[in-house]
Structure 1
Amino acid sequence: MVKMGFLSLVAVLCCAHLAYGEIHSMKYFYTATSGIQTFPEFVTVLLVDGQPASYYDSNIRRETPRQDWMKNAVDADYWDRGTQISIGDEQSYKANIDIAKQRFNQTGGMHSVQNMYGCQWDDETHVIDGYDQNGYDGEDFVTLDLKNLRYIATTPESQLTVNKWNSNPGQLAYDKQYYTQICIEWLKKYVEYGSSTLGKKVAPEVSLLQKGPEVACHATGFHPDAVMITWKKDGVEVDDDVDVGETLPNEDGTFQKRSVLTISPKERTKTQYSCEVTHKSGLIEKILDEAELKTITPGSGQAPVGIIIGAFLGFLALIALIGGAVWYKRRNPGNGFVAAKTGENSSRSSDEA
């Protein structure tokens, strides 16, 4: 099984519509931690088309809207119901960490339990897909193969869970119904609720930033999230010595992305390098020359090229910092249960882990 990091997964799910049309997505992220004092012990986030729609953590202990369109689309009871569900999820996830530590024969230390699940829908081809990734301590644990309707174990410790889940035809049938029908129905509703915001088109602002031999082509403030950044040398695409970052959300609902080219000042004088940013709003090209280049100097307060994340949302920073590349889930109160939301604060069915 090929492992995919959290941000890489977001990039694939969010940005595929550059080539294949308008793909809408709904993703839930659950993260529980222990032994990490500077972060909430439990966080849940709902993303719709890459934008945070609702949020809960163990510090605020309240399900809250993150978009005006989400707040206005539902009644006040929606947030009360969501709060109660998230409080229950919080307790379950804390228990999950203890169970996982027992499975892996661990005692103290820093640990994380995570789950990412959701669905996507192409409004042009009507192709749908669903995904459910589970992990423990930043390593794959269980992943859903929706096409073959089975769960895949990636460690010996997860085989017992997978055997039980795959031997429950009723739960598998529900999972198929959830990912192919229920989740898609709620995704379409959320897209309709937020059409004025999710459908907006904002061109990126593009800057060339230099720190030593690294030159970053940084695009920010764009919407929708699909963007492609390409470096060219005398008009020919360059792949070597290029590090393409992930598409990250800004707090205002727009997105940012960067691509870093490592090149010596001497090499820049020999040939012409340019950066092309392709977005739904159009094509932007920046020629790499001194007039366009901004230098980042140590101690200036500017972000280093390798960490240009702007106003990156706290929940994503949390996931990245604790190694949230993959996800982990259990399904029974006291024995590992996650009440995953399906919309309107309801919970998915569960079975014994």
Structure 2
Amino acid sequence: MKSFILLLGIALHSSSAVIHSWKAFLTASTGLSDFPEFVALNLVDDELMGYFDTKTNRFEGKQSWVEEKLGQQYMERQENILRGTSQSFKVNVGIAMERFNQTKGVHTVQLMYGCELGDDGITRGDFQYGYDGADFLSLDKSTLTWTAANQKAVITKLKWDATGADANFQKNYLENTCIEWLKKYVNYGKDTLERKVRPSVSLLQKTPSSPVTCHATGFYPSGVMVFWQKDGQEQHGDVEHGEILQNDDGTFQKSTHLTVTPEEWKNNKYQCVVQLAGIEDDITKVLIESEIQTNFGKTNRGSNDPNTIGLIIGGVIALLVIIAVVGVVIWKKKNKKGFVPASTSDTDSENSGKGIQKI
């Protein structure tokens, strides 16, 4: 499966063995006059931490603790680094287009990199380039070489492998600098990142013949299971699971749809069960007529009614489509090998200003 794809939803969820992560997504584009030529996103534990684009040329902290804890010097340093990085990426877009014999159209150069710290102390890191939504070049930390995903990337591989300097630099960054800054970020933002918020759960239905939707929203963290039971047994047939989406306030939402006739659920005990990571007690909602919020007949209007939810989802989707067009990528875990615990480092959290070369 290709690692680099355009998003219509955010799917940046770590595996259960990973408790903390820091990731950067850098995208340069051409042929999109209404969008920035360069966008950079930083995420801690899949929460947007920082944002930069060439429309404003400013680095913005997206969590209250970023500027408060890291200070104005940090903000200015990241801003200056990313301004320089945007120029390097612009050059690389031109180089890639020339290699692929392209003179016009919409094209993107992407870079995703970052590190993860497991609850067992094991660390991981990845550094990977993409072009036009497909893999281009990735770092093999075990051999300190670069892996070309296609013939056009072989030129870059041979050039960078000749000295080995860039592979050594990036490996050291992922093993040491990145992990140490990840620890700092988690410590500074722990009140936000380690919070536990129970979801609000509601049952929704458009018409009497439509599927019944169990909608859980406002929960944190993102690790959740939403499923249907019939007479105490989990249902798999006639059940459709939706994706986990992020709300504007950083919490999450998820829906699971059950196709069942009114006669069936009135003659049996159906209930929706929500299990959230970090919270022991399950949340259940029994499928009875008075619990269903609907657009037909009488309705229990509230903050989670279908119209309100539709507005929230619509806003989220609109944002994601914009992000998709400028080429944000899904983080894909590839190398399962870990690193030894890192040593202390006080260098910059971003290596993009130091490590971006011509491809």
Q: TM-score, normalised by structure 1?
A: 0.78
Give the corresponding residue for 2:40.
44
After superposition, the Cα gap between the structure-2 partners of 1:182 and 1:289, relative to the gap in structure 1 and judged at 3 Å, is: same
Within the candidate set 222, 229, 235, 1:225 is matched to 222
Find the structure with the greater CA-based Rg.
Answer: 2
Q: Provide the C-alpha distance between the structure 2 equivalents of 1:37 and 1:132, rounded to a whole number of angstroms.
A: 28
Q: Contact 2:141–2:167 (CA<8 Å) still a contact in 1?
A: no
Give the corresponding residue for 2:275.
278
- Amino acid corresponding to residue 93 of structure 1 in structure 2: F
Give the corresponding residue for 1:73.
69
Give the corresponding residue for 2:149.
154
> 1:203-260 CA distances to partner (integer Å, 9 max, x unpaired)?
1122333346444433222222222223444444444555544433333232233334
Q: Contact 1:24–1:48 (CA<8 Å) still a contact in 2?
A: yes
Q: How far apart are residue 100 of structure 1 and its match?
A: 2.2
> 1:237-291 CA distances to partner (integer Å, 9 max, x unpaired)?
4445555444333332322333345556676567554332221224222334433
After superposition, the Cα gap between the structure-2 partners of 1:323 and 1:60, relative to the gap in structure 1 and judged at 3 Å, is: closer
After superposition, the Cα gap between the structure-2 partners of 1:274 and 1:125, relative to the gap in structure 1 and judged at 3 Å, is: same
Q: How far apart are residue 188 of structure 1 and its match?
A: 0.2
SS of the residue 2:353 aligns to: coil
After superposition, the Cα gap between the structure-2 partners of 1:195 and 1:3, relative to the gap in structure 1 and judged at 3 Å, is: closer
Q: Contact 2:144–2:164 (CA<8 Å) still a contact in 1?
A: no
Q: Provide the C-alpha distance between the structure 2 equivalents of 1:238 and 1:245, rounded to a whole number of angstroms.
A: 15
Name structure 2 gaps, 5 residues minimum. Answer: 297-305, 332-346
- Amino acid corresponding to residue 229 of structure 1 in structure 2: V
Q: Within 5 A, what are the aligned runs for 1:295-306? A: 295=294
After superposition, the Cα gap between the structure-2 partners of 1:111 and 1:146, relative to the gap in structure 1 and judged at 3 Å, is: same
- Amino acid corresponding to residue 343 of structure 1 in structure 2: S
Whether 2:258 is the aligned partner of 1:258: answer no
Q: Contact 1:133–1:326 (CA<8 Å) still a contact in 2?
A: no
Q: Contact 1:31–1:319 (CA<8 Å) still a contact in 2?
A: no
Q: Provide the C-alpha distance between the structure 2 equivalents of 1:135 and 1:119, rounded to a whole number of angstroms.
A: 18
After superposition, the Cα gap between the structure-2 partners of 1:99 and 1:286, relative to the gap in structure 1 and judged at 3 Å, is: farther
Q: Contact 2:49–2:62 (CA<8 Å) still a contact in 1?
A: yes
Give the corresponding residue for 2:353.
347
Q: Provide the C-alpha distance between the structure 2 equivalents of 1:2 and 1:246, rounded to a whole number of angstroms.
A: 20
SS of the residue 2:52 aligns to: strand
After superposition, the Cα gap between the structure-2 partners of 1:270 and 1:15, relative to the gap in structure 1 and judged at 3 Å, is: farther
Q: Provide the C-alpha distance between the structure 1 equivalents of 2:327 and 2:262, rounded to a whole number of angstroms.
A: 35
After superposition, the Cα gap between the structure-2 partners of 1:204 and 1:301, relative to the gap in structure 1 and judged at 3 Å, is: closer
Q: Provide the C-alpha distance between the structure 2 equivalents of 1:97 and 1:114, rounded to a whole number of angstroms.
A: 9
Q: Within 5 A, what are the aligned runs for 1:172-187? A: 172-187=167-182
Q: How far apart are residue 344 of structure 1 and its match?
A: 6.4
- Amino acid corresponding to residue 139 of structure 1 in structure 2: A
Quote the sequence identity (%).
Answer: 42
Q: Contact 2:200–2:218 (CA<8 Å) still a contact in 1?
A: yes
SS of the residue 1:40 aligns to: coil
- What RMSD, in angstroms, separates the aligned Cα atoms of the two structures? 3.5
Q: TM-score, normalised by structure 2?
A: 0.77
Q: Provide the C-alpha distance between the structure 2 equivalents of 1:207 and 1:250, rounded to a whole number of angstroms.
A: 16
SS of the residue 2:187 aligns to: helix
Q: Provide the C-alpha distance between the structure 1 equivalents of 2:160 and 2:212, rounded to a whole number of angstroms.
A: 48
Q: How far apart are residue 314 of structure 1 and its match?
A: 7.5
After superposition, the Cα gap between the structure-2 partners of 1:287 and 1:76, relative to the gap in structure 1 and judged at 3 Å, is: same
Q: Contact 1:205–1:222 (CA<8 Å) still a contact in 2?
A: yes
Q: Provide the C-alpha distance between the structure 1 equivalents of 2:295 and 2:124, rounded to a whole number of angstroms.
A: 42
> 1:187-212 CA distances to partner (integer Å, 9 max, x unpaired)?
00001111222122111122333346
Give the corresponding residue for 2:313.
309
> How many residue pairs get matched?
331
Q: How far apart are residue 78 of structure 1 and its match?
A: 1.9
